[in-house]
Structure 1
Amino acid sequence: MTKQLSFLPKIDRVATQKKLEGVLESVRLYRQFGMMREEMKVTPSYEIRYHGPTNDVGKPLEDVAMANIQQSKREEWIKQTSFRIDQFLSRLGNGRAGKDQRNIIIKRYLEDEDVCDYMVYNEIGMSERTYRRVKARVFYKLAFALRLEVYETEETGGNE
């Protein structure tokens, strides 16, 4: 028999889940604390230097400015991602399935306190099996909505 050609690449579920959980954790922390700006040290540090002079000129103001620019770019990205997550959650629908999916993402990943899966499915009133299925489904959708999916790479023998 001939093997059917597949034009769609396969999704690496484990890598996608880790990537999405990392983004959701960053968004949760951003919503909880915001971004902290780096400030310049005003007082000198009186530490003993055991090495000789390096003749390096320190540029603390420039270092702080560069760090804050990078931080503001990251803050803008997290703000956009947070907005896109909110948009996604609002478009899940008002039926039972949409509410369950929305509750899973909000209660497990976006609320202030870090909770475990068993706490969430007990609070929602779901069985563990149903919870796992619904969570996998909404993770798949959210990863595509945020363009965070990770594709499997096929390794060939190199002789083709």
Structure 2
Amino acid sequence: FSNEFHSSTEDAALKRMDWEIERDRFLKRMQRAVNRLSQKERQILVMLYMQNEEMYDYEVYAEMRISQRSYYRTKAKAFYRLAFALRVEVYKDGGAPE
């Protein structure tokens, strides 16, 4: 026996607090990584994934007034740079760099 007493409500509150701290860390990390991208790369990712209204690729490149080819190149480069900034890059052989 110990002198400690934890109710299920206290445990749930502590888990929720830990979750919120982790979420805030992740969001700050993501924000720093996105801010390191070029303006065009950042604009593409924000328009596609960081708005309440869902947009499709063709809507984004039409609104940005860039060609489809240029759009997909920039989008791929944005994901590549974002992966490196977040240190989640994956290599073709499946291993990490040594």
Question: Structure 1 runs of 4+ off > 6 angstroms?
Answer: none
Q: 1:113 to 1:65 in 2, by over 3 A?
A: farther
Report percent identity of matched pairs.
Answer: 35
Is 1:84 equivalent to 2:29 in the alignment?
yes
Structure 2 length-normalised TM: 0.71
Structure 1 length-normalised TM: 0.47
Amino acid at match of 2:33: F
Is 1:114 equivalent to 2:54 in the alignment?
yes
CA apart distance, 1:122: 1.1
Equivalent-residue separation in structure 2 for 1:108 and 1:79 (angstroms): 22
Q: 1:130 to 1:76 in 2, by over 3 A?
A: same
Is 1:153 equivalent to 2:94 in the alignment?
yes
Equivalent-residue separation in structure 2 for 1:70 and 1:148 (angstroms): 26
Equivalent-residue separation in structure 2 for 1:108 and 1:121 (angstroms): 10
| Secondary structure of 1:130's aligned partner | helix
CA apart distance, 1:86: 2.1
Q: 1:125 to 1:147 in 2, by over 3 A?
A: same
Q: 1:148 to 1:72 in 2, by over 3 A?
A: farther
> Which ranges of structure 2 fall in alignment gaps of 5 or more residues?
1-6
Q: 1:106 to 1:69 in 2, by over 3 A?
A: same
> Which ranges of structure 1 fall in alignment gaps of 5 or more residues?
1-60, 93-97, 155-160
CA apart distance, 1:136: 0.8
Provide the aligned length of Structure 1 versus Structure 2. Answer: 88
Equivalent-residue separation in structure 1 for 2:87 and 2:12 (angstroms): 27
Give the 5 Å matches for 1:14-25.
Answer: none
The one of the two structures with greater contact order (alpha-carbon pairs below 8 A, sep at least 6) is: 1
CA apart distance, 1:135: 0.7
Q: 1:148 to 1:66 in 2, by over 3 A?
A: farther
